[in-house]
């Protein structure tokens, strides 16, 4: 349901965000800290996921902590998943073609807030309606 154009539009609307294209696909950072990226599945991911491996576009997004990641995984496994590569790391994988644009925006804003400097995040939150 969401597209890379949606990701780009939402991410680049956040203050101090930069998009880079090094490696496998686009990455979005705030003040040099990664908060979202295109994350195609690697051979080891495909082996670990087996028949449950998605075949569409995959977004990786930072989350506040592993507990938040586990909550998303439990809440909507049709949208959110992980691989052994990300065990113990606060990054969630998202089936981009399964997430609604409003949920995507919430996820990306939260990912940005996790990585943004505290002063910048506070300013952003203060200016939001």
Express each pLDDT in 40-74 by its tens digit: 999 999 999 999 899 899 999 999 999 999 999 99
- What is the percent of the chain with per-residue pLDDT over 70, rounded to a whole number? 100
- Which domains, ranges and CATH numbers included, belong to the chain? 4-119 (3.90.1150.30)
Whether pLDDT at 24 is above 80: no
Express each pLDDT in 26-45 by its tens digit: 999 999 999 999 999 999 99
Whether pLDDT at 106 is above 80: yes
Contact between 54 and 39 under an 8 Å Cβ cutoff? The reply is no
At 128 the pLDDT is: 86
């Amino acid at each position: 349901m969401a597209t890379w154009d949606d990701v780009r539009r939402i991410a680049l609307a956040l203050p101090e965000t930069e998009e880079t294209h090094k490696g496998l696909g686009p990455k979005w950072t705030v003040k040099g800290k990664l908060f979202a990226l295109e994350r195609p599945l690697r051979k080891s991911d495909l082996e670990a996921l087996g028949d449950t491996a998605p075949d569409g576009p995959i977004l990786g997004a930072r989350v506040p902590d592993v507990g938040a990641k586990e909550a998303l995984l439990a809440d909507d496994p049709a949208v959110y998943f992980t691989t052994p590569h990300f065990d113990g790391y606060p990054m969630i994988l998202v089936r981009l073609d399964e997430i609604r644009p409003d949920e995507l925006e919430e996820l990306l804003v939260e990912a940005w807030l996790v990585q943004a400097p505290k002063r910048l995040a506070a300013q952003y939150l203060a200016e939001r309606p």
